[in-house]
Amino acid sequence: MHNPVKNSLLMLMMVAMPFLCLGQEDDLFQELDNLSQGPQLFELPAFKALQIGNLQSTKVVDKGDLYLVVAHRFGDFQNGISDFFGLDQANTKIQLLYGLMSDLQLGISRDSYEKTYSGTLKYRLYEQSQERPLNISLYGSVDINTQIQKSVYPGLKPADRYSYSFQVLSSRRFDENLSLQIAPIYVRHNLVDLNFTQTQTYNQFLLGTGGRYKLSKRFSFNVDYAYNFSKDKNSLYHNPLTVGVDIETGGHVFQLLFTNSRASNDSSFLTETTGDWSKGEVSFGFNIVRVF
């Protein structure tokens, strides 16, 4: 025997079901729209280390993190076994970097090359995302050469010991493995050695380039180079070229590199590189980065 009330309820459910489904579908689309309007999804960092080799990368220290960087640059291979292929000579830089804000890092360092003290600042303007094709960071440094002697420069003033650099760092990660960077650079020396520069090039303009190619989960091949547009053709200085590898090991990145520069501070390695790759004047070096 049929129950009229039961049959009526069944018919009502059958009629209402499409409208309920449409309502749920509208709610689902609304949720998807809300998700699409959420925070931007940034690409993985173009570089895992703060430097490509010698040249700064666009990476910035995270807020509240403290980095210890120890950089060694040995002598060149030219003298062979007599100084153990340069390992008997070493310049060492010890640097502390702190993430003061989410996009701002400050640093202090001491480099045994010319007994140089440095202060640095790096600020991240943009991160690569679906909306922005590039990572862009601004970087500045002040270097103080304490090795200059008044006996050599009788008219030496305190400001003569200072050198400055300003860099606009732009990088892009093109795929899972390849990242490239370009960097217009300005360097100012308050004092220059005419025996090397041949001309009074106090203000110098360079173009830095670099890249990283990921070889495996923990290894990458890196290269950076800077072309000096202001260097005199008779200058004894050369453009710096560095090649090396990154090794990621837990809390730090270990960088092995070969370079024609003995210095690690910015103004010196960019504009006072004396090594010539074509003559085998290349040094081995490494950077150790530890995060606290």
- Give the residue extent of every domain in the chain: 66-291
- Asked whether residue 18 carries a pLDDT value surpassing 50, the answer given is no
pLDDT tops 50 at residue 24 = no
Instruction: For 235-244, write each residue's pLDDT tens digit.
Output: 999 999 999 9
Interval 89-130: pLDDT, tens = 788 999 999 999 999 999 999 999 999 999 999 999 999 998
- Check residue 43 and give its pLDDT: 67
Residues 173-183, mean pLDDT to the nearest whole number: 95
Q: 260 and 238 in contact (C-beta within 8 Å)?
A: yes
pLDDT of the residue at 249: 81
In 225-253, which positions are buried (b, 16+ CB within 10 angstroms) versus exposed (e)?
Answer: bbebebbeeeeebbbbbbbbbbeeeeebb
Q: Which fold has domain 66-291?
A: Porin (2.40.160)
pLDDT at 153: 80
Q: In the chain, pLDDT over 70 holds for what percent of residues?
A: 81
Q: What digits encode the pLDDT tens for the residues 38-64? A: 455 556 788 989 999 999 999 999 999
Find, among 174, 173, 142, 137, the residue nearest to 159 by Cα: 142
pLDDT, tens only, 218-258: 899 999 999 999 999 999 999 999 999 999 887 678 999 99
Predicted pLDDT of residue 86: 60
**pLDDT at residue 88 in the model:** 64
Residue 26's pLDDT is: 47
Q: What is the pTM of this model?
A: 0.82
Decide if 240 contacts 273 (C-beta within 8 A): yes
Give the Cα separation of 242 and 260 in Å (integer): 7
